[in-house]
Structure formats: C-alpha cells, structure tokens
Amino acid sequence: MSQHKSSTFDRLTERFLRSVAGHVSRRNLLSRLGLTLTASSALPLLPWAKDAEATPLSHQKNGAPTPFGASAQTSDDQRCDYWRYCAIDGNLCSSCGGGVHSCPPGTEPSPTSWIGTCFNPGDKRSYIIAYRDCCGQDSCNQVNCLGTDGDQPSYRPQANNDIIWCFGTSSQVYSCSTAAIVGSAS
C-alpha cells in the first residue's frame, strides 16, 4: 500500500469513526461495544502511514525512524528498551507472570488497545504493535516503562498511552500492559 493510499484510507477511517461516535447514544451499551470493536479492528491500520510520513529516510539512523528504535534491543522482554515497547506506558506483563502478548493469571485482556509502530533492529523492519492492557487486578509494579514514540495526546486516543485501555473488560482496574505484533509496517 502506498503512503498516499494509506493516508486517504486513514482519513476515511477517521471520518467514519467520528461519524459513528457523533451519532450513537453514549448510553446505549450495544452502540458503545460496537464502536469499541469497530475502533479496535480499524485503528491498527492508522499509525503506519503516520510513522512513514513523520520521519523521512534522510533523517533515519541505521534504518531506525526514531531514537528509541536506534538503541532498542531484541533479546530481553523484561527491560524497557525491548524493541516492542517503543510506545508502552505502564507495567510490563512479562514481568508480572504474563508474557509479551499474554496477561498474567487473574487478569483479563482488553479487546481494545492503543497502537504504536516500533522498529525491530533484528530484521530492520517496523511492526504495528497493539498495546493491550490486562485488567481486573491492581498495578503489578515490577518493571514500569514509559515509551513515547508516536505517543499523541488523548485527542488522538488511538495513539495515546495514558488512557486506561480496559474498555470491554469486566473490571476497568489496570494491572499491566502487553505488546502484541498485529502487522508489518515495512
């Protein structure tokens, strides 16, 4: 997909989501769930173009589009500089009895997430990462990280890592965050 096509798709998707958000009753649970599911399935497609648009090749370092990617490592998913954690904010589930894409026992993965685009120094490719929160227990507080690559304020919720992404879970109490690969951005 070319950058131009992706940007057009991006705008259309954003317009569609705004249209849905603007016309559904917030108090209607089904509408809320529908919007959530729509958003969660569509939003992973958004940041790819943003990242490519943001960093021209001339300003990349060793193929990495951001400083985080240029110094990231690929072997230890319990450290904050692990390549997938470029936009993570919170406790690493991998340090709390879960895994890089698995929730610890006693918690529940959120069906929604925020999205980042992270550079893997191992294969020199960028990947779309869904940061899904695990919910239902209090903060597990082992390894706490704050990756801010592509992190935008909450008026761009799909790229904001401050929101408690526990929409659609039985409890909205935040425990930790995972980082699942949901696609290639290269």
Partner 1 sequence: MKATKAGAFVACLLVGGALIGGASHVHAEEPVLQTEQSDTLTLPPAGPHRVLVQDAVYEHAKDGRIYVVDADKARLMGMVQAAYNANMAGNPAAKAFYVAETAWSHGNRGTKADILATYDSRSLAIVNDEELPGRALVTPKAHNLQISADGKKIFVYDMTPGNAVHIIDANTHKVETSVDIAGCSLIYPWTDANRQSGFSSICGNGGLVNVSLKANAVPTLTHTAPFFSPDIDPVFENSPEAAADGQAWFITYSGLVWPVALGPDSTVGTPFSLQKLAGQKPGSDAKNPFDVAWRPGGWQLAAFHRKTGHLFVLMHRGTFWTHKAHGQEIWEVDVRKPALIRRIPVPAPTSLVGITQDAEPLIFTSDDQGDFFILDAKTGHLRHKMPHLGSSLIYTLSSGE
In the bound state with partner 1, the residue whose beta carbon lies nearer, of 77 and 135, is 135
Pick one of 42, 80, 163, 182: the residue that binds partner 1 (CB under 8 A).
Answer: 163
Among the options 48, 83, 114, 165, which is catalytic? 114
Q: Which of 5, 73, 74, 164 binds partner 1 (CB under 8 A)?
A: 164
Q: Within positions 66 to 95, which residues make up the interface with partner 1, using CB under 8 A?
A: 66-68, 70, 89
Q: Which of 133, 149, 151, 165 is catalytic?
A: 133
Distance CA(50)–CA(72), nearest Å, equals 21
Distances from the Cα of 55 to the Cαs of 28, 50, 62, 102, in angstroms?
41, 9, 13, 31
**Amino acid identity of 173?**
V
Task: Clarify whether 83 is annotated catalytic.
Answer: no
CB of 109 to partner 1, least distance (A): 16
d(CA 112, CA 44): 10
Q: Which residues 6+ apart lie within 8 Å of 38 measured at CB?
A: 17, 20
> Per rule CB under 8 A, is residue 4 in the interface with partner 1?
no
